[in-house]
Homo-oligomer: A and B are copies of this chain.
């Protein structure tokens, strides 16, 4: 056997969680204008969820997920990945550490999302509600970039995270997608009450949940997994020939 496939190959560092990874891979197929199988973005995916909990580590109550993430990254590079993405927002807390160790470039989910935000017309100009984990909000990754666009940003309060977002997110991860979705909608309701005109679903469990219940928030929300998929399609269209 010979290593003949030397063409561009997208590496997906997944497992955070496994359903969000599948959702990303599905959106990658949907976003690619393809007439036949052979047109699609070639992917190698590491969907290994045996990674210490990111939210718990950021809350100071668990071990670091970085070694397991580096392991996955290394496996993807060994398998021939030429560009790597991570379909998990919270994992982007370790993006710089991963990029520093990687011999191939990574695409940042916030870059991909900001590109879509600039094109968005629904609720344009108004405050952007961020539906995200406590660890993601604490990183300020989205807030800094959104404010740099001259837009204001609204985040869940500590109480809303404890009562709505966090249990909703873990319900989705545990397979109780519908009840999780209702809790996540409550987190969005609270942001809407404070003036948000649109949302960034900055946790990859959120679009999975909102799609399941066909949430009323979908038309005014940016799906960061879909934004990342679009960025990957653009990468593939640039390099495939």
Contacts and interface: CB of A to CB of B under 8 A. Distances in A.
Nearest to A48: B42
Given A74-B1, A78-B78, A44 B42 contact: no
B49 A37 contact: yes
B36 A5 contact: no
Interface string A61-76: 0000001101111111
Interface in A1-49: 1-5, 7, 9, 15-19, 21-22, 25-26, 29-30, 34-40, 42-49
Nearest to A240: B50
Nearest to A175: B34
B49 A40 contact: yes
Query: In the complex this chain forms, how many copies of it are found?
Result: 2
- Say what secondary structure dominates the interface of chain A: mixed
Contacts of A7: 50
A53 interface: yes
Contacts of A101: 1
A141 interface: no
Interface in A116-145: none
A148 to B, nearest CB: 32
Contact of A22 (B26, B35, B73, B173): B26
A237 B1 CA distance: 32
A51 interface: yes
A79 interface: yes
Nearest to A174: B35
A5 B39 CA distance: 33
A47 B50 contact: no
Contacts of A4: 67-68, 71
A79 to B, nearest CB: 5
Given A22-B29, A25-B22, A50 B38 contact: yes
A80 interface: yes
B34 A51 contact: no
A39 B168 CA distance: 19
Q: Which of A25, A76, A80, A175 has the most CB of B within 10 A?
A: A25
